[in-house]
Structure 1
Amino acid sequence: MIEVRHASFRRTANRNGRFCGEVEVTTNDARTPVVLAYFTASQDNDYDMVDILANDADTEIDWYDNNMHQAFASRSEWFETDEMKTDWGERESFKEQVLAFGSVREDLARELLD
């Protein structure tokens, strides 16, 4: 199970035509310790996690923060079962860990709901 060790709101961003809040998340995953989670406001006054990306670029070669290239890869496989279906319980648990960390939920409310 992927656990959140730290999370902080970074900025608002446009992901595939959707206005999102970008949250940097440090996890317990040794292969991908830092990811970017993207949230949109949902109709039930909560947030939907619409994407999770990890920077797979080699920092020795690609030392700048450039999210316009293919080095950023989805980490949706974290929540897939052996049958290649989404484990919604695991995904929801991760989402709630992120939202509950520090002021993330409040920061998203300020930036996405105003």
Structure 2
Amino acid sequence: MNVLEAHVARSLEKDGAPCAEVQVRTDDPQCEQVLAYFSLSADQDYDLVSIVRDDADLLTDWFDNSMHTAYEDITMQWFENESLKTDWGRRETFKQQVLSSGQVREDLKRLIG
């Protein structure tokens, strides 16, 4: 999958650490819209914390609909290889595509350091 467009939506805390939520549009027909969460790494770069499928739809999600999962963590399934291990090369490629899209890196620096 390739990143077509990305922009930082907001800052928030995830598992007690400051993070930023980035809305990402991809060329994957199964997951055209995802939310990628980034935190500041020890080497002053950014870590990709998780990816969530953004399948929210006002027509189905305007009320408590237990039949529909609008936000699902897909980090493992997106980057898992045949031996059920993380494909770090694919994960890093995706991360770099997001960070180099538009003003994402600058906005992350402003929001989380």
Question: What stretches of structure 1 move > 6 A for 4+ residues in a row?
Answer: none
TM-score (norm 2): 0.87
Is 1:105 matched with 2:69?
A: no
Aligned positions of 1:14-93 closer than 5 A:
14-57=13-56, 59-63=58-62, 71-76=70-75, 77-93=77-93
TM-score (norm 1): 0.87
How many positions carry a matched residue from both structures?
Answer: 108
Where structure 2 has 5 or more consecutive residues not aligned to the other structure, the ranges are none
For 2:57 and 2:102, the matched residues in 1 are separated by 30
Secondary structure (helix, strand or coil) at the match of 2:109 reads helix
Percent of counterpart pairs with the same letter? 47
Alignment root-mean-square deviation, CA: 1.8
Counterpart residue number, 1:96 = 96
